[in-house]
Chain A
Amino acid sequence: MNDRPLTGRMHPDRTPLSLREYEQAGGYQAVRQAVGRIAPVEVMNLVKESNLRGRGGAGFPTGVKWSFVPRGAQARRPVYLIANADEMEPGAFKDRRLLEGDPHQIIEGVILASYAIEADIAYIFLRGEYTLAARRVRQAVAEAYQAGWLGKNICGSGWGLELHLHTGAGRYMCGEETGLINSLEGRRATPRNKPPFPQLSGLFGRPTVVQNVETLCNLPHLVTHGAAWFKELSRCKDGGTKIYGVSGKVKRPGAWELPMGTPIREILEDRAGGMRDGVHLRAILPGGASTEFVTVDQINMQMDFDTCQAAGTRLGTGMMIVLDDQTCPVGMMLNLERFFAQESCGWCTPCREGLPWIVQSLAAIEAGRGEPADLDILEMHTRLLGPGLTYCALAPGAMEPLHSGLKIFRDDFERHLREGRCPWS
């Protein structure tokens, strides 16, 4: 179990651990150990030392993120901690697994993070479609209150935490840090300008930390077993395990908790069983819809933040989507860009205007009505919608598969233009 701390104690039949089962398996020990016994700043230092990096996709060091939150008399109260459970990146289903399978684990993670930043109120922002997770988390929150893990004076420390489940009503933008904050305030999920960063002025203008579910689930184990243990779990310099997943035409699609830095080949072949009979691997989106494609010759690449970045892509969610040779790459890119165009909140001009253009061009090419100049226009958009020109990462993220796809699938695009139809249809 110890090499799979997040998922090792889950039931194989996917029923959730009850409070009693969770406590018997060592649950809430980290709260007992830390709250009122170790100074909040020491919990933060432990997380810094462990090299835990955010599992939502950006990979920002968690302890460093917390260090910007003002402490003590400086802080405007209440201070907020928000668990980002708005899992909506196409290809991702890891947070669902964590929320449904072990709802007390995320609650314990929320308590520890809140303690470390001296927060008063926490929310779990859960996407509206995760109805089963909502039922299970709601029940677990009630149990945790009853057992004294939430509420006033936790473990006799004098410190208390209020935790509420907040369920969303759709829109990918709610997963974006500042879009989430706006949505939680009862506004449209549009992004905010930074600075000020949420750690100084976030929810209702108060100090706020937003943290992904998987990141928070690491905390109980990290506090119990220490930073050195945590670092040893991985196969790279970032600490811990990672929940990797595979979807597409593979034999056994699924998600597995493995050492951070596990190579694509091991995940794809040993866990997912390789490609289904009759189809061959063409390319992979390693970390969800908003990452650059990698090709067959890159499958020995280790799946960690730095290696992925050095290879020109991103670890993202670590949930890979596999493209096979029987599926049209142009059609796949059209599907991806349609998603981003639809989910754009309309706040920034490049994103609002550019993404529909891209969809139109890709749709024309896919339907056999494309012109050679369309490829140049698409390429131009990858720069016009790139980093630094919009308030959030939706448009730059949308450009990642387009940017690499235009290069990798150049021949396929040209065939569409030449033949005046989709060769796969």
Chain B
Amino acid sequence: MLNAEEKQLIEQAVRHYEHPRAACLEALKIVQERRGWVSDDDVRDVADALAMSPAEVDSLATFYSLIFRRPVGRHVILVCDSVSCWIMGYERIVQHISERLGVGLGETTPDGEFTLLPVVCLGACDRAPAMMIDGDLHGDLTEEVIDQLLVTYRGKKME
């Protein structure tokens, strides 16, 4: 069930468009921001709110890469795998993160802390290699910088 706040935010988004379905991605993001991912129930609820069928909503949820249809960790790491970052050492970087976390691309650590995903060009090619953690951009990555970041984000759950 969508809660009152989610319903209100979705109604607000709908007002920006000629048709309610245009707010579908925004609605999915509103849900995901609060629940971490989008479940089958969430898909049905968003469909109801926008007078769409669940299949229509799911066709969007599964098409757009920033909508997660499976549970993710507390922190989501998006590593840029496009050409400038690849030239500047993407493979080395992703291998290092994988070793540190003990998971490969598309996987979540057993403790539920981190999900590791590839992402297309982040528009940070002048600071390659680059990645995002929870929506924050980090560039000029080295093994040392990554180790530091993982410690920092791991600590964030303690707050």
- Interfacial residues, chain A to chain B (CB-CB below 8 A): 78, 87-93, 95-96, 127-132, 164, 166-172, 183-189, 203-204, 245-249, 253-255, 285, 289, 319, 321-324, 327, 331-332, 335-336, 339, 342-343, 345
Beta-carbon contact of A171 and B88 below 8 Å: no
- In the bound complex, CA of A173 to CA of B87 (Å): 24
- In the bound complex, CA of A16 to CA of B38 (Å): 34
Most chain A beta-carbon contacts within 10 A, residue among B23, B52, B126, B137: B126
- In the bound complex, CA of A185 to CA of B20 (Å): 9
Stretch in B98-106, B114-122, B146-154 touching the partner: B114-122
Contacts of B145 in A (CB 8 A): none
Picked from B66, B67, B123, B126, the residue with its CB within 8 Å of the CB of A87 is B123
Q: Quick one: closest A residue to B135, CB to CB?
A: A131
13 interchain pairs (CB within 8 A)?
A: A78-B18, A91-B82, A92-B121, A128-B66, A166-B26, A169-B64, A169-B65, A186-B23, A186-B24, A186-B50, A247-B87, A332-B87, A345-B63
With A90-B120, A129-B132, A185-B21 known as contacts, the answer to whether A247 contacts B84 (CB < 8 A) is yes
Q: A185-B19, A189-B63, A321-B83 are in contact. List 18 more A-B contacts (CB 8 A).
A: A90-B84, A90-B120, A90-B125, A91-B83, A127-B123, A131-B135, A169-B28, A185-B21, A185-B22, A186-B19, A186-B22, A204-B18, A249-B88, A253-B128, A254-B126, A285-B83, A319-B125, A323-B87
B75 interface residue per 8 A CB criterion: no
Contacts of B128 in A (CB 8 A): 247, 253
Q: Quick one: closest A residue to B118, CB to CB?
A: A342
Q: Quick one: closest A residue to B132, CB to CB?
A: A129
- In the bound complex, CA of A95 to CA of B121 (Å): 13
- Interfacial residues, chain B to chain A (CB-CB below 8 A): 16-19, 21-26, 28-29, 50, 52, 59-60, 63-67, 78, 81-84, 86-88, 119-128, 132, 135-137
Chain A nearest CB from B17 CB (Å) reads 8
- In the bound complex, CA of A25 to CA of B56 (Å): 48
With A88-B120, A339-B120 known as contacts, the answer to whether A321 contacts B125 (CB < 8 A) is yes
Beta-carbon contact of B83 and A171 below 8 Å: no
Picked from B50, B63, B126, the residue with its CB within 8 Å of the CB of A188 is B63
Picked from A90, A169, A247, A253, the residue with its CB within 8 Å of the CB of B25 is A169
- In the bound complex, CA of A91 to CA of B18 (Å): 35
Beta-carbon contact of A168 and B25 below 8 Å: yes
Contacts of B60 in A (CB 8 A): 186-188
Beta-carbon contact of A91 and B121 below 8 Å: yes
Chain B nearest CB from A114 CB (Å) reads 16
Contacts of B82 in A (CB 8 A): 90-91, 289, 335, 339
Picked from A204, A247, A249, A339, the residue with its CB within 8 Å of the CB of B126 is A247
Beta-carbon contact of B66 and A129 below 8 Å: yes
Q: Quick one: closest A residue to B23, CB to CB?
A: A186
Beta-carbon contact of B64 and A170 below 8 Å: yes
Beta-carbon contact of A171 and B123 below 8 Å: no
Q: Quick one: closest A residue to B125, CB to CB?
A: A247
- In the bound complex, CA of A189 to CA of B25 (Å): 12
- In the bound complex, CA of A253 to CA of B128 (Å): 9
Q: Quick one: closest A residue to B90, CB to CB?
A: A335
Beta-carbon contact of A253 and B126 below 8 Å: yes
Beta-carbon contact of A339 and B83 below 8 Å: yes
- In the bound complex, CA of A335 to CA of B21 (Å): 35
Picked from A185, A285, A324, A332, the residue with its CB within 8 Å of the CB of B86 is A332
Contacts of B123 in A (CB 8 A): 87-88, 92-93, 95-96, 127, 129-130
Beta-carbon contact of A186 and B25 below 8 Å: yes
Q: Quick one: closest B residue to A95, CB to CB?
A: B123
Contacts of B124 in A (CB 8 A): 93, 96
Chain B nearest CB from A363 CB (Å) reads 14
- In the bound complex, CA of A345 to CA of B138 (Å): 28
Q: Closest 10 interchain pairs by CB?
A: A170-B65, A247-B125, A186-B21, A169-B64, A247-B84, A90-B82, A253-B126, A169-B66, A93-B123, A186-B24
Contacts of B29 in A (CB 8 A): 128, 167, 169
- In the bound complex, CA of A130 to CA of B123 (Å): 9
Contacts of A167 in B (CB 8 A): 26, 29
Q: Quick one: closest A residue to B16, CB to CB?
A: A164
Beta-carbon contact of B125 and A253 below 8 Å: yes
- In the bound complex, CA of A321 to CA of B21 (Å): 38
- In the bound complex, CA of A298 to CA of B93 (Å): 33
Q: Quick one: closest A residue to B24, CB to CB?
A: A186
